[in-house]
Amino acid sequence: MKQHFDIVIVGGGIIGCAIGYYLAKENTSVAVLESQSIGGKSTGAAAGMLGAHSEYKEFKQLYPFARSSQLLYQELYDEIKELTGIDFEMKRGGLLKLAFSASEKEEMASIYKLPAIEWLNREEAKEKVSTLTTSIIGAAFLKEDVHVTPIAVCNGFSTGAQTLGAEIFEYTNVSEITKQDSQYKIKTSRGDFTAAQVVIASGVWSNYFFQNMGLTNRIIPVKGECIAAMNEEIPLKHSIFHDQHYIVPRNNGQLIIGATKKWNDWNEKPTLEGIESVIKKAKEMIPAIKDMKMTNCWAGLRPQTFDGNPFIGEHPEMKGIYFAAGHQRNGILLAPATGKMVRDLLLGNPVDKKWIEAFKVERSISKSTELEEVKL
Amino acid sequence: MKQHFDIVIVGGGIIGCAIGYYLAKENTSVAVLESQSIGGKSTGAAAGMLGAHSEYKEFKQLYPFARSSQLLYQELYDEIKELTGIDFEMKRGGLLKLAFSASEKEEMASIYKLPAIEWLNREEAKEKVSTLTTSIIGAAFLKEDVHVTPIAVCNGFSTGAQTLGAEIFEYTNVSEITKQDSQYKIKTSRGDFTAAQVVIASGVWSNYFFQNMGLTNRIIPVKGECIAAMNEEIPLKHSIFHDQHYIVPRNNGQLIIGATKKWNDWNEKPTLEGIESVIKKAKEMIPAIKDMKMTNCWAGLRPQTFDGNPFIGEHPEMKGIYFAAGHQRNGILLAPATGKMVRDLLLGNPVDKKWIEAFKVERSISKSTELEEVKL
Amino acid sequence: MKQHFDIVIVGGGIIGCAIGYYLAKENTSVAVLESQSIGGKSTGAAAGMLGAHSEYKEFKQLYPFARSSQLLYQELYDEIKELTGIDFEMKRGGLLKLAFSASEKEEMASIYKLPAIEWLNREEAKEKVSTLTTSIIGAAFLKEDVHVTPIAVCNGFSTGAQTLGAEIFEYTNVSEITKQDSQYKIKTSRGDFTAAQVVIASGVWSNYFFQNMGLTNRIIPVKGECIAAMNEEIPLKHSIFHDQHYIVPRNNGQLIIGATKKWNDWNEKPTLEGIESVIKKAKEMIPAIKDMKMTNCWAGLRPQTFDGNPFIGEHPEMKGIYFAAGHQRNGILLAPATGKMVRDLLLGNPVDKKWIEAFKVERSISKSTELEEVKL
Amino acid sequence: MKQHFDIVIVGGGIIGCAIGYYLAKENTSVAVLESQSIGGKSTGAAAGMLGAHSEYKEFKQLYPFARSSQLLYQELYDEIKELTGIDFEMKRGGLLKLAFSASEKEEMASIYKLPAIEWLNREEAKEKVSTLTTSIIGAAFLKEDVHVTPIAVCNGFSTGAQTLGAEIFEYTNVSEITKQDSQYKIKTSRGDFTAAQVVIASGVWSNYFFQNMGLTNRIIPVKGECIAAMNEEIPLKHSIFHDQHYIVPRNNGQLIIGATKKWNDWNEKPTLEGIESVIKKAKEMIPAIKDMKMTNCWAGLRPQTFDGNPFIGEHPEMKGIYFAAGHQRNGILLAPATGKMVRDLLLGNPVDKKWIEAFKVERSISKSTELEEVKL
Ligand SMILES: Cc1cc2nc3c(=O)[nH]c(=O)nc-3n(C[C@H](O)[C@H](O)[C@H](O)COP(=O)(O)OP(=O)(O)OC[C@H]3O[C@@H](n4cnc5c(N)ncnc54)[C@H](O)[C@@H]3O)c2cc1C
Ligand SMILES: Cc1cc2nc3c(=O)[nH]c(=O)nc-3n(C[C@H](O)[C@H](O)[C@H](O)COP(=O)(O)OP(=O)(O)OC[C@H]3O[C@@H](n4cnc5c(N)ncnc54)[C@H](O)[C@@H]3O)c2cc1C
Ligand SMILES: Cc1cc2nc3c(=O)[nH]c(=O)nc-3n(C[C@H](O)[C@H](O)[C@H](O)COP(=O)(O)OP(=O)(O)OC[C@H]3O[C@@H](n4cnc5c(N)ncnc54)[C@H](O)[C@@H]3O)c2cc1C
Ligand SMILES: Cc1cc2nc3c(=O)[nH]c(=O)nc-3n(C[C@H](O)[C@H](O)[C@H](O)COP(=O)(O)OP(=O)(O)OC[C@H]3O[C@@H](n4cnc5c(N)ncnc54)[C@H](O)[C@@H]3O)c2cc1C
C-alpha cells in the first residue's frame, strides 16, 4: 500500500472531500484519511441549505465568501454528475424566511438590498406555500438559497477525487502528526503516512490537532437534532426558515425538519426532548405538518468557533500544516469555496487578502478562552 | 402444496398464532394463513404489558379471563423456550400505576383488594424508581403485571405450532370464505384452501369477514403511536403507567414509550404530533427521560369493539366458522386464554359459560351501530 | 369523509398512481385505494430500468408501446418536478447489454437496427466501463434505456395527482366490488366507496378481482431478489445487463444489483440463496464488485401473465370495470403509457387498435391454464 | 463536569465495560471513556458464543482462563439482571462442532476428555438437529459452550457500572496520555481527564497507545463478516460450528451466521464477496438454510495478537498504565475473567502467576514484527 503523498487531508467530511476534489483536479498526489466513513459525521446530519442570504446577518464579512461558494455549486452540479454519475440533487425552490412580527421583519432589513431577495406579505407568502401559518406577517423570499443533499455532495467530491487519481482511506484514524526531515509523518491506525503538506479538516475534532501542534484554538460542538417526515400530501417546493429552525423538502418528497442547538454537547444521538422541540417549532411554521408521518431522526455536531468564522489557513509556525475547520452551521454551503481556497493556499496561487485575514488560524489565539461566552 | 386442513385460521397475529399453537398441541391438522408476515400488524406494535390489574376497571367481567391468561404465561414461557429455543423475555418487575391526585388514587380503589397489589406512597414509589416525578402522591404497585416481547411471543407460538405439525402460510391473503358441501372453501391469493372449521383472527381487519358472512359486528381501529429510547443510565425495572400511557423497559435496556389513542384512524404510520405527545406524557412521569436517546418510532391499530370485550365464538348460523378478534388494548395479555378457549370450542371441550356469554358474536348485533359513541 | 368518486382505482403501485395522475390532469373526480402504503410492493422493489430495447426480444409486438412510454418519461420528468418538487432521478447513461459469446451477440441482432443502439467490441465496452469483465466479446450500448428511481416516480404520480385534486387512501383494502344501481360499490376496510368506473391496478393481487368478477385470467408472481451496494471507488455511469441480471447505478452512488426469478413464489422476503446468486452473477459482469460494501437487500413480486403482455382493458361484461395489471418485469417502463391508455379508455378517447387487441382482458380466457408452462 | 477519577478506562467495548463493572463493584472511582458509542465496534459485531471448548485447540494454555470466564457468566447472568433489568440472553443449548472426515474428528481428539463434551455420530447429531447435512461423519457436542447476546452483555456491564457509581462518557475520544506529577493526564475530545491508573481497553485501536507510550506491541485486525436470517420454520436449539464458521440461534428466533476472516482489513463494512462466502459455508452445514430470509449483514474487526493471547498487564515502565486488549475471536467469552483480572491487578489483589506470564505486555516486544506471518 502506497503511503506517501504530496498532500494528506485529515478528515473525510464535506470539507476534507471538497479539498481533495479541488486538489485532485490539479493532478496533485493527494489522499484523504477518514477515521470512520466518508460523510458520516456532521456532514451526514446536515439539512443542506445553501443559505448565503438566510444567514446573512450571522455571516457579516463572510458574506462574499459564502455567496461565491453558493455560485460555485452551479457549475459543480454538472461537473460532478458528468464525472461520477452522482446527482447531488440541487433543489432550486429557494427559501422563505418567515417574520411573525414587525421587529422580525425589520431584523431582515439588511438583506432586502441583496440580489434575488423579495419581500412577500402574508398573502403572497401563502400563495407560494398555502400551508403556512396565518400568524406570520410575511416572509423574505431568498430565491437563490437553494439546497442540496449533503451526503451526496460529499460522495460526489470523494468519488470525483478518486476518479481523478486521489486516494481515500476510510477507517483510518490519524493519531499524531510530526515533523520528519523535510516532511510530515502522519501516524494512523493502519500505519504511517508521509506528506509534504497536511490539511486538518476534521470538523469539531480538529481541536485535537490544534493542541497536538501547540495552538490554543478551540472548536466547540453545537449539537443539532433533526427529523425526517414523509410529505405525502402537501408538495413543498421551498424551504421554510424561522429562528434558525427549518423545513427543507428533499427530492424524494421527504421533509427534513430541524434543528436544535445544544452548546458543547458531544453526544451524537438525538434526545426525546430535542425531537419534541423540533416538532413543536415546525408546527409553528406549518401547522398541518402535525399529521405527517415521521420516518427518521438523528443528530450531528456543528463545529463552532469563537467568532463564527472557520479557521482556514496555515499553522503560524509549522509550515505545510493547514487547517480548514469550524464551518459551524454553514459547512455545506462553504465547502466549494473552502476547497478552492485551500487548493490555492497549498499550490501558492493568489487568494483574496480579506479572506486570508478573516479566517487565519492565529486570529483567535488570544481570544479563544472567551468562546463559551459568545452568543450563538 | 397440501391445501386441505381440518382447521384453517385466518390471521397470523398473536391471536391467530396462539390458537394455532394450542390446536397443534392436540395433533389437529391446522394451518394459519397470514396476509403479510407473522406478527407484523397490531401485535408487532404492542408494548407487551400483561396488565390484568392495570386495566382492571376497563375489564369488568373480563378480569377473571384476563387473570387466567396472565397465569398461563408462566407455564408457556418454559414450554415455548424448550420447544423452539425462543425466549420471549418475560420481565418480572411489575408495574407502577401512578396517582397524581387523591381522586386518581381513589379511582384505583377497586384493585387494592386484588392479589399482589400494594399501595405505595410517594417516597415508597420513588424508592422503587428514583427518577419518578415528585408530582405524584403515590402509586399502585401491581407486582404481577409483568411484560413480554410481543413479537417474540408470536414467533414462539408460530414456530412452536410448526414444530408440532401445523403449517404457516405467510403472504397469503384470504379474500372469501364460502360453504362448499360439508366444508368451507377459503379463497386466497395463492389458491384455494379447504377446511371443516375456520377461525377468523384477523384483528381489526376481521370486519370484512363479518360482513362477508352476513353479520353486522364491527371492529374499529384505535391507532396507537409509540417510540423506543435507549436507557443508558437509569435502569428501570418496573413499567410505569398513567392515564393509559406507559414506559416499559425491555430486556436489552431499551424503553418502550406509548401510546396515543386515535379513534378510527387506519393509517399505520406515526405522525409528528403523535410522537410529540407521547414524549410529553413520558416526561410527566419521569422527567429525566427527556435526555434519553430516541431510537425508533412506529404505530399500530388496536382492534376495538363496542363494549370492550373481544368477539370469541361461533357464527350464529354458519356452523364451523369461529371468530376471535377485537382484543383492543389487551390482545397480548389475552392471547393464551383466547387460544385455549378457541381450542376448546372447536374440539367440543367444556368452556366457562360466563365467557361464552360475554364474548359471543351475536351479542353486538343490535348494538353495533352505537360503537362510535362509546367512550374509550 | 367523501367516499363517492367518478373513478376509483384499486392499487397504489406505479400503475395505479400513473392512472390516477393522468386522470387527475383531466379534472376527473378520482381516488386511489391502496391496501398498504403507496409504492410499497412490486414498485418499491424495482430497479427502475426503462428497458424498451434491452427487453426488445421479450416485448415483440409490445415494443412500440414500450418505446412510447420511454419517450413519455422525458416530458414527465420536468412536469412532475415542477408540480410536486419531486425529482425522480432520471439517469441518462443508458445500458450495456453484454455478450459473452458469438451466439449471445447474434441473439441481439434484432435490436441493432433500432434507434440509438450501438454495438461495442470488448475494448470499446471497457472504455465506457473499465471494470467490465474481460470475458465478454462485446456489448450492445442502448443509449436510451435510461433509468429512474421507481418509488420516486410513484410518489411523484401520487403527490401530483393529489395536487391536481385526486384523493389517495392508504391502508384501505378493497375486499369486494359489486354492481349497485348504475354504479359500483367498493367495499373496503374503511367503509364503502362508490364510483361509476373502477380500475383494478393491484399488480399480482389483481387475481382476486378477476375471480371476484367471473374471469379466469391469472397473474403469477415471479419473485425477484435484489441487493444494494455502495460504490465508493468505481463511478458507474451506465447500467450493465446480462441474462436478465443487472447492475444499475443510482444517483447517490449506490448500485442496485438484481435479480432472481422465482416462479410462483409469494414470499416477499429475500432468501440467503437468492442473495448468494445475485452476487455471483454480478461478479461475472464486473469482477471488482466483490469488494463493494453491501448496504441492503429485498425482494418483490413481478406480476406475470401467460403471454407476457399486461391486461389493459374493460371487463367483457361488466361495463365500467377496467383492469391494468400484469406488467411483469417492465411495469416501471410501461407506467406512463398505461396511465395514458387507461385514461383514454375511460374518457372515451381514441386508442390504438393494436394495443387494445394485444392487452385486452378476454384474450387469455381460454389459455390461462397453460400459464405455468410458459418459459419466462 | 467532574473529570478526575482514580481509574480511567479507555474504550467502551465489552472488555472496557467488564473492567468498569468489576471495579465499580469495589466502590472505586472509575470512568469509561468511549470514542463512539458503547459496544458499537467489535463487540457489537460478535456472535456471542462462549466457546471455551470449541476453540480449545487455539486456546492452549489459555483454556483454564477461558473456562473460568465461561463459568463466571453463570453468576453474572442473575447479577446483571437483578441490578439493571437487562437480560443478556444466555442460551443454553450448547454447540455442535461438526466433523466431515475422520481427520476432522481426530483433530478434536484433545477435547473429548474435557468436561461436558460428548461425541455424536451422524445419526445422533441429526437427532439433535434434524436439518444438519448428511455429509458429516459426526459432531462433538459441547454442552457448555452456550452463548449470549454480546451488545446486551456490554450494556449490562455499562449500566451496571453506572448504577454502582461509575461514569460512562460516550463520544469521548482519547488522544493522548501523559504523566503529570503523580498521576496521568488523559487528553480527550471533550477536555482533559486525570487519573492515578489508566486501563487501555481499545480493542484493535489499542495499537495507538502502545506506540504513544513507547511499546512496539501490535494488534492486527481480522475482519469478520456476518449475516442474520429469520428462522421461521426450523427451531435451532444448538449452535453449529465448522472450520471457524458458525450458525448461532438467538432468543428471538433469528440465526447469526458468520464469519469471514480478513487479515489486516480495517474497513468495517461487509463486502459482497464476504456475504456470499458466509452463505456458502452455512449451506454446507445446514443445506435448508438456503431458503431462510436474510434480515441484516455487518462486519467487525477482531483484535489479533502475534500469539493469540490478549495483552493483559501493566506497562513495563509506566506504572499505573495497564493494557487489556487483543482478545481476538474470543473477547465475549473472556470479558468476565479479564474484568476480574484487571480489577485484581489494579487493586493489588493476588492473580494467578501463569496468567500474568501468559498475557504480560512485554512478552511480545521482541517478536511482534513477525505477527504478519502467524497462521490464524
Ligand atoms: C443538524 C445540522 C444541520 C445542518 N444544516 C446545514 C445546512 O443546512 N447548510 C449548511 O451549509 N450546513 C449545515 N450544517 C453544518 C454542516 O453540517 C457542517 O458545517 C459541515 O458538515 C462540516 O463539515 P466538516 O467536513 O468540517 O465536518 P465533518 O462532516 O464532521 O467531518 C469531519 C470528519 O473528520 C473525521 N475525523 C475526525 N478526527 C479524525 C482523525 N483524527 N483522523 C481522521 N479523521 C478524523 C470525522 O470522522 C469526520 O468524518 C448542519 C449541521 C448540523 C449538525
Ligand atoms: C401501540 C399499541 C400498544 C399495545 N400494547 C399492548 C400491551 O401492552 N398489552 C397488550 O396486551 N396488548 C397491547 N396492545 C394490543 C395488542 O397489540 C392487540 O390487541 C393484539 O396484537 C391483537 O392481535 P391480533 O392477532 O388480533 O391482531 P393483529 O396482530 O393485527 O393480527 C391480525 C393479522 O391478521 C392478518 N390479516 C388481516 N386480514 C387478513 C386476510 N384477509 N387474510 C389473511 N390475513 C389477514 C393481518 O395481516 C394481521 O397480521 C397494543 C396495541 C398497540 C397498537
Ligand atoms: C426485483 C424487481 C426488479 C424490477 N425491475 C424493473 C425495472 O428495472 N424496470 C421496470 O420497468 N420494471 C421492473 N420491475 C417490474 C415492476 O416493478 C412491476 O412491473 C411494477 O411495479 C408493477 O406495478 P403495479 O402497480 O402493477 O404493482 P405493485 O407495485 O405491486 O402495486 C400493486 C398495489 O396494489 C395494492 N393492492 C393489492 N391488492 C389490493 C386490494 N385488494 N385493495 C387495495 N390495494 C391493493 C398493493 O398493496 C400494491 O401496492 C421489477 C420488479 C422486481 C420485483
Ligand atoms: C464477526 C465477529 C464474530 C465474533 N464472535 C465472537 C464470539 O462468538 N465469541 C467471542 O467470545 N468473541 C467473538 N468475537 C470477538 C469479540 O467481538 C472481540 O474479541 C471483543 O468484542 C473485543 O472487545 P474489545 O472491548 O476489546 O473491543 P471493541 O468492542 O472493539 O471495543 C473497543 C472500544 O474502544 C473504543 N476506542 C478505540 N480507540 C479509542 C480512543 N482513542 N478513545 C476512546 N475509545 C476508543 C472503540 O470505539 C471501541 O468501542 C467476534 C468478533 C467478530 C468481529
pLDDT at D354: 93
- Residues B297, B332, single domain; the answer is no
Cα–Cα distance, C239 to C252 (Å, whole number): 14
Which ligand ends up closest to the CA of B205? 2
The answer as to whether C203 is a domain residue is: yes
Position D214: which residue type?
A: G
Nearest alpha-carbon partner for D334 in D91, D115, D2, D48? D48
- Residues D282, D189, single domain; the answer is no
Mean predicted confidence (pLDDT) in C183-204: 96
pLDDT at B234: 74
- Residues B224, B285, single domain; the answer is yes
Do A144 and A97 touch, CB atoms closer than 8 A? no
Q: Tell me if D36 CB under 6 Å of ligand 4.
A: yes
Which residue of B158, B159, B235 is in closest CB contact with D159? B235
Cα–Cα distance, D167 to D171 (Å, whole number): 13
CB-based contact B253 D163, cutoff 8 Å: no
**Is 70 exceeded by the pLDDT of residue A317?**
yes
Mean predicted confidence (pLDDT) in C237-258: 93
**Is 80 exceeded by the pLDDT of residue D148?**
yes
Long-range contacts of B358-362 (CB under 8 A, 24+ apart): B358/B61, B358/B62, B358/B65, B358/B309, B359/B309, B359/B310, B359/B311, B359/B312, B359/B313, B360/B311, B360/B312, B360/B313, B361/B215, B361/B217, B361/B311, B361/B313, B361/B314, B361/B315, B361/B316, B361/B323, B362/B313, B362/B316
- Cα(D225) to ligand 4 centroid in Å equals 14
Query: In chain D, what's the furthest Cα-to-Cα distance?
Result: 68
Cα–Cα distance, B60 to B52 (Å, whole number): 11
Q: If pLDDT is split at 50, 70 and 90, which confidence band does C216 have?
A: very high
The CATH number given to whatever domain includes residue D313 is 3.50.50.60
The answer as to whether C89 is a domain residue is: no
Cα–Cα distance, A143 to D368 (Å, whole number): 62
Burial classification of residue B24, based on how many CB atoms lie within 10 Å of its CB (0-12 exposed, 13-18 middle, 19 or more buried)? buried
Q: If pLDDT is split at 50, 70 and 90, which confidence band does B1 have?
A: low
- Residues A25, A134, single domain; the answer is no
> Alpha-carbon torsion B156, B162, B165, B167, what sign?
positive
pLDDT at B364: 61
The Cα-based distances of B17 to B22, B34, B209, B338, D267 in angstroms read: 9, 10, 18, 11, 42
User: Between A and D, how many CB-CB pairs are < 8 A?
Assistant: 44
> Alpha-carbon torsion C73, C79, C83, C86, what sign?
positive
Residues paired with B310 in a beta bridge: none
| For the ranges A61-75, A329-343, B97-111, C249-263, the one whose mean pLDDT is highest | A329-343
- Residues A107, A34, single domain; the answer is no
Number of domains within chain B: 2
Position B166: which residue type?
A: A
Report chain C's terminal Cα–Cα distance, integer Å.
45
Q: If pLDDT is split at 50, 70 and 90, which confidence band does D374 have?
A: very low
Do D157 and D20 touch, CB atoms closer than 8 A? yes
Cα–Cα distance, C333 to C50 (Å, whole number): 5
**Is 80 exceeded by the pLDDT of residue B59?**
no
User: How confident is the model over C198-215, as pLDDT tens digits?
Assistant: 999 999 999 999 998 999
The answer as to whether D90 is a domain residue is: no
Mean predicted confidence (pLDDT) in C277-285: 98
- Residues C155, C77, single domain; the answer is yes
Chain A neighbors (3+ CB pairs < 8 Å)? B, C, D
Q: How far is B295 from chain A (nearest CA, A)?
A: 8
Q: What is the mean pLDDT of chain C?
A: 92
Nearest alpha-carbon partner for A300 in A203, A208, A376? A203
- Cα(A230) to ligand 2 centroid in Å equals 25
pLDDT at B368: 42
Domain boundary among D304, D327, D357: D304
DSSP string, C170-224: SS--EEEEEEETTEEEEEETTEEEEEEEEEE--GGGGHHHHHHTT-----EEEEE
Cα–Cα distance, C278 to C297 (Å, whole number): 11
User: How confident is the model over B274-328, as pLDDT tens digits?
Assistant: 999 999 999 999 999 999 999 999 999 999 999 999 999 999 999 999 999 999 9
Q: If pLDDT is split at 50, 70 and 90, which confidence band does A367 have?
A: very low
- Residues C125, C193, single domain; the answer is no
Q: How far is D101 from chain C (nearest CA, A)?
A: 26
CB-based contact C291 D270, cutoff 8 Å: no
- Residues C101, C164, single domain; the answer is no
**Is 70 exceeded by the pLDDT of residue B367?**
no
**Is 90 exceeded by the pLDDT of residue C249?**
yes
Cα–Cα distance, A259 to A274 (Å, whole number): 8
CB-based contact B208 C190, cutoff 8 Å: no
Ligand 3 probe mutation, C8, C168, C329, C334, most atoms within 8 A of CB: C329
**Is 50 exceeded by the pLDDT of residue D376?**
no
The answer as to whether C170 is a domain residue is: yes
Q: Which of A86-90, B73-77, C147-151 has the lowest mean pLDDT?
A: A86-90
CA B223 to ligand 2: nearest atom = 53
Cα–Cα distance, D236 to D285 (Å, whole number): 13
Do D225 and D259 touch, CB atoms closer than 8 A? yes
Cα–Cα distance, B53 to B243 (Å, whole number): 14
Do D154 and D38 touch, CB atoms closer than 8 A? yes
User: How confident is the model over C298-352, as pLDDT tens digits?
Assistant: 999 999 999 999 999 999 999 999 999 999 999 999 999 999 999 999 999 999 9
User: How confident is the model over A251-260, as pLDDT tens digits?
Assistant: 888 999 999 9
Helix (H, G, I), strand (E, B) or coil at C319: coil
Q: What is the mean pLDDT of chain D?
A: 92
Domain boundary among A303, A328, A362: A303
DSSP string, B163-185: HTT-EEESS--EEEEEEETTEEE
**Is 70 exceeded by the pLDDT of residue D11?**
yes
Q: Tell me if B168 CB under 6 Å of ligand 2.
A: no
For D226, nearest residue in chain C (alpha carbons): C294
Chain D neighbors (3+ CB pairs < 8 Å)? A, B, C
Residue nearest to atom 26 of ligand 4 (CA): D203
pLDDT at A376: 36
A247: which 3 cell numbers?
Answer: 423545513
- Residues C298, C313, single domain; the answer is no
Do C327 and C303 touch, CB atoms closer than 8 A? yes
- Residues B70, B36, single domain; the answer is yes
Residue nearest to atom 10 of ligand 4 (CA): D330
pLDDT at C370: 42
Residue nearest to atom 27 of ligand 3 (CA): C203
Quickly list H helices, D139-271. Answer: 150-163, 207-212
Domain boundary among B304, B335, B365: B304
CB-based contact C85 A236, cutoff 8 Å: yes
**Is 50 exceeded by the pLDDT of residue C369?**
no
The CATH number given to whatever domain includes residue C249 is 3.30.9.10
Is the N-terminal amide bond of C116 cis, ω within 30° of 0? no
Q: If pLDDT is split at 50, 70 and 90, which confidence band does B374 have?
A: very low
Q: Which of A305-309, A340-344, D251-255, D308-312 has the lowest mean pLDDT?
A: D251-255
Residues of D engaging B, defined by a Cβ cutoff of 8 Å: 38, 83-87, 89, 91, 93, 149, 151-152, 155-156, 158-159, 162-163, 168, 170, 231-233, 235-237, 249, 251-253
Do A224 and A300 touch, CB atoms closer than 8 A? yes
B178 backbone dihedrals φ, ψ, rounded to 5°: -135, 150
Quickly list H helices, C29-177. Answer: 42-45, 56-59, 63-84, 102-107, 109-112, 122-128, 150-163
Which residue of D227, D293, D297 is in closest CB contact with C269? D293
Q: If pLDDT is split at 50, 70 and 90, which confidence band does A132 have?
A: very high
The answer as to whether C90 is a domain residue is: no
- Residues B291, B311, single domain; the answer is no
- Residues B199, B78, single domain; the answer is yes
% of residues, chain A, pLDDT over 70: 96
ipTM for the predicted complex comes to 0.93
The Cα-based distances of B271 to A259, A279, A289, D35, D99 in angstroms read: 18, 10, 9, 34, 54
Cα–Cα distance, D307 to D66 (Å, whole number): 16
Cα–Cα distance, A156 to A14 (Å, whole number): 10
Bridge-based pairing of strands A95-99 and A138-142 is antiparallel
**Is 60 exceeded by the pLDDT of residue C109?**
yes
Strand extents, DSSP E, D109-252: 117-121, 138-142, 167-169, 174-180, 183-188, 191-200, 220-230, 239-242, 245-249
pLDDT at B160: 96
CB-based contact A175 D208, cutoff 8 Å: yes
Residue nearest to atom 16 of ligand 1 (CA): A331
- Residues spanned by the domain of A124: 95-146+220-303
B315: which 3 cell numbers?
Answer: 357464527
Mean predicted confidence (pLDDT) in D182-206: 95
Contacts for C93 with CB less than 8 Å, ≥ 6 apart: A85, C146, C237, C238, C239, C249
